[in-house]
Each structure stands twice: as structure tokens, then as C-alpha cells.
Amino acid sequence: MFRVFKSPGFEKKASKILTRSELLELEKLIEKMKLGIITGKTITYDFPKEKKIGGKKIYFLVYANIKIVLLVSASNKKYQQETIDEIKLLLPEFKKYAYNLKY
């Protein structure tokens, strides 16, 4: 069982680019993640992972040792590389945020 959290900027970004049906698909994905069914393509190393929903991508980090999945961003194809670069830059901050959620 995993706990799934959204990073501070995730909700705003996701609601901007995802359609209503894609947001519903995201909620289904979150429910699967909570059960430990974590699918998605690894971008580099083990972080981050991406999952395609419609024509957009959802980016998330899996901290298996503390059983937390952190949804960190969403993007369309045009901003995909920019989003990945931003996530890589913020990895230490996301890790700190996730470990603070543990308690």
C-alpha cells in the first residue's frame, strides 16, 4: 500500500492542461497507485516516472522505502523536456517534501 500525494504546484498545473475526462482518469490512476499498482515509464534512473493520460503526461516520483508516490507535474508534448528538466532540478526539494510527509 502506498500513500499518494500531490506536490504544491501539481494540482494547479494538472487542472490547467488536463480535460475533465483526463482528470477522472488521473483519479483512477491514483487509486491504483495506492494499491501498489504503479505503472509508468522511467525517464532517467528511477526518477521521475511518467504516465500518459490522453495526449498529456503526468510525472511522479516513487519513494518505495517510505511507501509514498508524489505527483509532481503534468505537461503536454510541447513542454515535455522543459518539465523533465525542471523536475530533475527540483529532485532534492521533492525528496525533502516527501520525507516530511512521512511523519
Hey, is 69 helix, strand or coil?
Answer: strand
What pTM was computed for the model?
Answer: 0.90
Using the structure block, give the residue that is written with the C-alpha cell 515509464.
Answer: 41
pLDDT at 8: 87
User: For residues 5 and 79, what is the distance between their CA atoms, to the nearest angstrom?
Assistant: 23
Residue 71 in this model has a pLDDT that exceeds 90? yes
Residue 46 in this model has a pLDDT that exceeds 80? no
Residue 2 in this model has a pLDDT that exceeds 90? yes
Q: Which residues contact 67 (CB under 8 A, 6 or more apart)?
A: 1, 2, 3
Domains and CATH numbers, the chain: 3-101 (3.30.2310.20)
